[in-house]
Structure 1
Amino acid sequence: MARLPQPGGDAGNWGNILNDYLSASHNADGTLKDNSISEALLDSALQTKVNTSVDDATLLVAGKVRLAGDLAGTATSPTVPGLATKLDVAVKDLDSVIITAERFAGVDLTGATNSRTALQALIDASPAGTTLLFPRGARLLVSGSLNNGGKSLFLDLNGSTIIKGSNSTLFNFTGTYETPINVTSQSVGAITTDEETKQATVLVLASAPGWKAGEVVKVFSDDVIPGGRAGNGTDESRLGEYMIVSTVNGATVTLNGLIRDAMTTNVRAAKLNNIPVGISNGHIEVLDSGIAAGWSTGISRFAALINPIVRNVHILGSSATCWNFTGCYQYLVDGCTNNFAVDKSGTNIYGYGVVDNACMFGKVIAYHAQHVRHAFTDDTPRIPIGSGPTSYGRTYGTKIIGSTCHGSTNTAWSTHSCSEAVEFIDCTAVDSMNGYGLRGRKHIVRGGKTKNTKNVIKIFAESSSDSDSWGHRIYDLTSEGSVDVAITVSLNPTSGVRETRPNYFSRIKILDHAAGLLECTNATVIMDNCDFEMAPVVPDNTHTFTLTASALEAYNSRLDYTKNTTGNNQRIFYQASTSGSKATFKDTNHINTADHGSRSVWLYLAQTSSTVDISELNIAFTMSALNATGMSSSSRFEWKVASSGLHSEWVSLSSASIPSAAQAVRVTRTRQQTITFSCTPTSAGAVLFNLPVGAVLGQQIMIVNFGTQSFTVANGVTPNTSLKTGADTSIPVGGYMNLIWSGSIWREIG
């Protein structure tokens, strides 16, 4: 009888004993012998199948399937009803979740009922970094806010429409900071690389942070932002800026670059955690009933985030602000549109397109906004001391690129007084109230166009304070069809003191314009290569340049009045008050018609407190009164008229004007080397007026008698002459006299 070998026995017989045992039920090839397993242990359907092939799975044969848990139905028709509300695999293993009504109870893809609860539950259940993919063409009503819960989240609307159904911000996505650490000292240091050394900021903190090179931290303090919009004394705009970590050595941290504004009060630093979020590829609208009810909340708020992204999202209508970014670093709005936003400032509803609050290096690209208050604007919230880091700091370095605004209810492209270095590159404003409104520091407008606006550019301070608005640079901007003063610069309304930090304009084209070019109050402006074209019809008393307590330098200007047919009493330059201004014009082409010249009363009219320095002024047709009045004694006024050949160095003197002291300014107003007195006396006895000091050494006066009577040039200290005869000298009819300025007296030569 076959048996198994016995441990500790059967020495030398193990192999034979084991083979005898196995051969009882196995063939020599190792397969089981027929009937080696009793029928009682087998399903009858398998009795004859053990040693044969298995039928293909397409054959419908009832099997032994346990239909329990997520499975149901029959063996031949199993179903999976338990997975209807479950993900295809564990959520933690997915990058994207497809939203369907079948999978997620409470999601209504028709927009008839509120889907907010179901969507928020899905967001809460999703791990950081999940993308929620909406079904194409769906409509989802969301009454309440969708919150990211402080984690990374992306919504791909995939062509669907989200309907804002309540007076709550629709998307409320926020990030986090690490706990702020007090700064015990700060100093200027250096960062040395393999190639060079650059300046850096060294902070000593109250405790050692766990920061790494390249991470973003905000340094902030309770100091009020200088030059910013004033608060109420408790809530104020306060300093802060994002900086990049270079090195960490215990509690000593070296940051790239220097702090822009000095911080002294309760200085802290906090790392901004990197929590990416985004919304893309869909449409947003607001219930008509909500707009009618005056909902005051907007579409979104992104706060304390690094690189939040909004891409290819189209807002069909908004009850207030569309895209709000607060305390973010390097946000992006790309390829988005806003069709409409309610703007009722009287009820504190502001229809902004993109609003940047205390962000740094944001980008708005290929963006289109219509019927909004501002397509872009910025601000820094007013907060009490000791607040969290999010709302501290200036908006800085934001770029708006290749974007358009059509039909704004206020200024299309706007900044506020706390911001710095915002750039508008190739942006357009059409049929808007104003093109650009700049407050703050060192903003840039480069390229772009405005058409059919009221003003083209307004640079101004807050109405209630002498807030900052200086250092702006506007290049290569073209405007057509504006109806009010093209450029206004109005500063320091409280103190009335001139702002000496200039604003710059270069290569500006103001075409078909129905008003003046520039109006300045308490400002300093530098312009070059500006091209101004006046419209056919302008109001009476239109002045191309109007200054009040301001300083202007204008180089290479082209002023074209040839299309203008209506508008009397025009002037190129007008000084409106006695507060004193200074204007410098060099190489100006004044292109006009004889008709326009007849309607221009003065070329330049100023107060005696104003100084005007005009050189190389080329005029097509003279004005009805060419030589300017007023101006200080140090003013210069050098011009020539193409149509008549007249110029500032040709002084026509009649019998009455030969002795007139008022003519002396014709000498002091020009630095040209030679001045000609064309005298035409018709009665005897005239004596030339006492000569003023010369404008430049070696300046000469040629006195010519083209009249019918002689006249006299006096000699001596009072007339300021030294004549060859040593006495008063008569110039006969057809005679002349040459004088040269020696630096102390006019000496006769020749």
Structure 2
Amino acid sequence: MTEERSGFPDRRALLGLGTIGVAAGVAGSVLRPQPAHAADPVTSVNGKTGAVVLTATDLDAVPTSELRSFVTVASPDRFPGIDPTGAAECAAPFQAALNAVAPGGTLFVPPGRYRLGASLQVPPNITISAPHRQAVLVRDGHKGIIVRAYGSHSAPIQTTENPARVEVTENGQVTGVMQVRLASAPNGWNRGDIVKIFADDAIPGSRRTEGASSIPRVGEYMRIHSVSGTTVQLNGWAFENYTSNVRLAKLDDKTVAIDGLAFDVSDASFASTDAPECVLRCDSLRSPRLTNVRIIRAAGIAIQMRSCAGYYIENAEITTATDNPSAGVFGYGIHDVSCNGGLVVGGIARYVRHGYSDKSTEVPANSQNTMMYGRTLFPRITGMQVVGASSAGFDTHQESYGVHFDGCIARATTSSGFSLRGSGHRLTNCSVIGGPIALQVFTETSGGRGTGDTRHITVDDFRTEDSSTVVQCSIRESAHDQRGIQDTERNLTIKGLHARGARRLARITNARVRITDFDVTASDLPEFAFIQNTNSRLDLIDGLVDLEAVTKVENNRNRILRSTTDSPSPGSRVLIRGLRVRASTFYATQCAVGPFETDVTTDIDAQVEMETPFPVMPGNLGASPRCTFGWTTWVQEDSAASLSSSGSATFINAALSGSLRAATRAPDELILLLATLSDGVSRDLGKLERGRKLGQRLSILVARADNGATLRVRNGSAYGVSLGSQSSITLGNGGQLHLFWGGSTWRLLS
């Protein structure tokens, strides 16, 4: 990250200003060096006064004429009407200063506040330098962009056939190229040029309004490998699939660089409820570069990068941006619209809607507006911080692909730290502090037809503190075309999750999610279901759920995991391995019906380690034939709860004639069913359901039978037991019966 420096000019600024001052000596400035310093020959010496007259050549300085060929100073002396005090509007003379900069040159903007009543257009291939953010451009009296830098594309050329992936050999190396045949030979296209390939195909997974003629359509930038007549080969293979009205257009070689410039809007502009344009926009450029830019106030979008082939934004500071969606005002900090390969390094955005967001433009078929095609592809945002966002700190839209957030921090959000739609996104070493949701992954349905999916999101080393819900993955909900149908591909993978002060670990709906290597510490008043799973495939591998500090709950029917269905749900599959649960005795007693609950549509295979004994374990498990639940408890004292595990299950009185699933769903090699007839009533044992593995053994022990009560075990498939020739076996106090699972029934072990 670029360091913030003091308010003094840096070395480059001093050199520039010094050169200007020295050049002024050509016009007659008189310098009086000490005699001892006048060792070298000089142009002239005044014989009467001894004054030495030095020229630019004497000092090895740059003459004014040469200096002005590459550095232009936006000063009132050079451009009358420019007013750094802000007293007078000065858009026209400021535009004149921009127009005076030679290609490849620099406009130096001295400190001051420059009030602009119209937008400024930056000529291509120049640099604007205003070190240390002391020069502020202020929008006043208009709703347009403050500064816009626009590139251009050549006229599109139609293809005669769909692009093809081919391999070519060059210098003994085989490389993949995209071969395109055009309707006419391009003029002036050369190896190394950048072109946009685009078509009328809809962007896969995009949000589209039913029946709309304008929709998000595919497009991306590629580099020319070779040109031969009407055949163009592009380096690499295209990311998108192009089939409908495919065209190519060359991106002209234009860029800009802006360093240290600051922007603001007038009080009236900031208070206006009308939808304005953004503060700064770069459009259709090759790798524009923004460094140390500051947005003091933005009425809407601060920085927008549109249809650029790469961009670089370093150490941007966005202080505040008005966010009023009902009035069409969206306070985005950095907004990527259909760019490829952008890079954001460092920077901070405060009090915005999103610190970073992206979007694709809806465009009609066969449009000539090349820049409106395509989606955000593979940008990287590293080391950026967002504070006090009015919505998600970091946000992606349904069309974007491959956004990588690295080392980013979202603080005190009112919605979520990261809100991800689209596919292929990645989070590494990111953190969220506060807010209702730390990480939200979902499919878009609001404001249009839900047709897309959000898939293949990967998260590594994610930290949260005091976020109510750590992970929420909501797929195909509400108005989605496939509402309630579980996705067929992995939506979210998390490896390395560290959360403190959470009320809920996860809420998963219609998704496929895998979370590994996690530790989550709960706050007081945890949600009724700490993990809520609905119609999803959920893997929980190697993690700790820590409820030890919980002293308050909303009711006494809490769950650690609850899995349910959602119409027209096919059901859930839950895999748990290496899960450790730590809880206060208070919380354990508040799970009155057990900490785990599944319905009949949930297939679960679990291995859980309980540090704290729970009075009821594991809880209400649904009658799914693929339900296996293993658990152990740390031995803390010589009590029934502390010594119990899934390898033993106690059934008391009437429970002996009901479901025995708590015993037969255990994966243990040896299972002990403890029968207690403390009410003195003789009973028939209920049906034993299917075992979990061949050869699994089940021992039935009548641990207590008051008043001579007995327990009868019956023979037959209706009871799940095969006793050979015996119709039943009756057990009294201390009686035992040993069975093994033979694959279809529990058989008597002789």
Asked whether the two chains share a fold, i.e. TM above 0.5, the reply is yes
1:633 is aligned to 2:625: yes
| Counterpart Cα distance in 1 of 2:572 and 2:441 | 18
Residue 217 (structure 2) aligned to one of 238, 242, 259: 238
Structure 1 stretch displaced more, 382-391 or 472-481: 382-391
| Counterpart Cα distance in 1 of 2:721 and 2:289 | 78
* 1:472 alignment partner in structure 2: 457
| Counterpart Cα distance in 1 of 2:323 and 2:722 | 75
| Counterpart Cα distance in 1 of 2:429 and 2:370 | 35
* 1:590 alignment partner in structure 2: 581
| 1:405 Cα deviation after fit | 0.5
* 2:165 alignment partner in structure 1: 188
| 1:575 Cα deviation after fit | 3.1
| Counterpart Cα distance in 2 of 1:748 and 1:221 | 71
* 2:154 alignment partner in structure 1: 178
1:650 is aligned to 2:632: no
SS at match of 2:362: coil
* 2:386 alignment partner in structure 1: 405
SS at match of 1:361: strand
Give the aligned residue type for 1:200: V
CA distance 1:193–1:492, change in 2 (3 Å): farther
1:621 is aligned to 2:606: no
* 2:21 alignment partner in structure 1: none
* 1:562 alignment partner in structure 2: 548
SS at match of 1:411: coil
* 2:405 alignment partner in structure 1: 424
| 1:238 Cα deviation after fit | 0.8
Residue 609 (structure 1) aligned to one of 589, 601, 617: 601
SS at match of 1:441: coil
| 1:675 Cα deviation after fit | 0.8
Contact 1:380 1:418 in 2 (8 A): yes
**Structure 2 unaligned runs (5+)?**
1-42, 54-62, 637-641
| 1:487 Cα deviation after fit | 2.6
* 1:677 alignment partner in structure 2: 673
**Structure 1 unaligned runs (5+)?**
1-54, 62-76, 78-86
> Could you state the TM-score of these two structures normalised by the residue count of structure 1?
0.84
- 1:452-474 deviations in Å (ceiling 9; x for gaps): 21211111222241333221111
| Counterpart Cα distance in 2 of 1:594 and 1:57 | 96
Contact 1:578 1:609 in 2 (8 A): no
| Counterpart Cα distance in 1 of 2:419 and 2:105 | 40
| Counterpart Cα distance in 2 of 1:346 and 1:551 | 37
| 1:475 Cα deviation after fit | 1.4
| 1:509 Cα deviation after fit | 1.5
| Seq. identity, % | 25
| 1:97 Cα deviation after fit | 1.4
| Counterpart Cα distance in 1 of 2:616 and 2:662 | 18
* 1:167 alignment partner in structure 2: 143
* 2:528 alignment partner in structure 1: 542
Structure 1 stretch displaced more, 668-677 or 314-323: 668-677
SS at match of 2:93: helix
| Counterpart Cα distance in 2 of 1:445 and 1:352 | 20
Pairwise mapping of residues 435-474 of structure 1 onto structure 2 (< 5 A)?
435-462=417-444, 463=446, 464=448, 465-474=450-459
SS at match of 2:659: helix
Pairwise mapping of residues 91-110 of structure 1 onto structure 2 (< 5 A)?
94-110=69-85
Contact 2:468 2:501 in 1 (8 A): no
SS at match of 1:596: helix
| Larger Rg, first or second structure (1 or 2) | 1
| 1:689 Cα deviation after fit | 2.8
1:740 is aligned to 2:740: yes
Report how many aligned residue pairs link the two structures: 664
Contact 1:113 1:141 in 2 (8 A): yes
CA distance 1:214–1:669, change in 2 (3 Å): farther
* 1:749 alignment partner in structure 2: 749
Give the aligned residue type for 2:542: N
CA distance 1:297–1:731, change in 2 (3 Å): same
SS at match of 2:98: helix
| Counterpart Cα distance in 2 of 1:88 and 1:627 | 85
1:482 is aligned to 2:467: yes
Contact 1:652 1:678 in 2 (8 A): yes
Give the aligned residue type for 1:678: L
Residue 246 (structure 2) aligned to one of 267, 278, 286: 267
| Counterpart Cα distance in 1 of 2:737 and 2:609 | 28
- 1:385-438 deviations in Å (ceiling 9; x for gaps): 222211211100000000100101111100000100001101001111220110
Give the aligned residue type for 2:572: S
| 1:196 Cα deviation after fit | 4.4
CA distance 1:140–1:348, change in 2 (3 Å): same
| Counterpart Cα distance in 1 of 2:280 and 2:48 | 56
| Counterpart Cα distance in 2 of 1:717 and 1:491 | 42
| 1:685 Cα deviation after fit | 4.5
| 1:666 Cα deviation after fit | 2.8
SS at match of 1:468: coil
CA distance 1:591–1:196, change in 2 (3 Å): farther
SS at match of 1:227: coil
Contact 1:332 1:362 in 2 (8 A): yes
* 2:703 alignment partner in structure 1: 706
Structure 1 stretch displaced more, 696-705 or 190-199: 190-199
Structure 1 stretch displaced more, 304-313 or 181-190: 181-190
Give the aligned residue type for 2:428: R
- 1:528-576 deviations in Å (ceiling 9; x for gaps): 11221111234xx521111222221111121111111111221112234
1:414 is aligned to 2:395: yes
* 1:688 alignment partner in structure 2: 685
| 1:276 Cα deviation after fit | 2.0
| 1:88 Cα deviation after fit | 3.2
| Counterpart Cα distance in 2 of 1:686 and 1:547 | 37
- 1:50-95 deviations in Å (ceiling 9; x for gaps): xxxxx9662589xxxxxxxxxxxxxxx9xxxxxxxxx93278x722
| Counterpart Cα distance in 2 of 1:726 and 1:621 | 40
SS at match of 2:432: strand
| 1:623 Cα deviation after fit | 4.6
> Could you state the TM-score of these two structures normalised by the residue count of structure 2?
0.84
1:551 is aligned to 2:537: yes
1:133 is aligned to 2:133: no
* 1:120 alignment partner in structure 2: 95
CA root-mean-square deviation: 2.4
Give the aligned residue type for 1:360: N
SS at match of 1:507: strand
1:522 is aligned to 2:510: yes
Contact 1:405 1:430 in 2 (8 A): yes
CA distance 1:692–1:625, change in 2 (3 Å): closer
Give the aligned residue type for 1:697: L
| Counterpart Cα distance in 1 of 2:235 and 2:331 | 37
SS at match of 1:118: helix
* 1:491 alignment partner in structure 2: 476
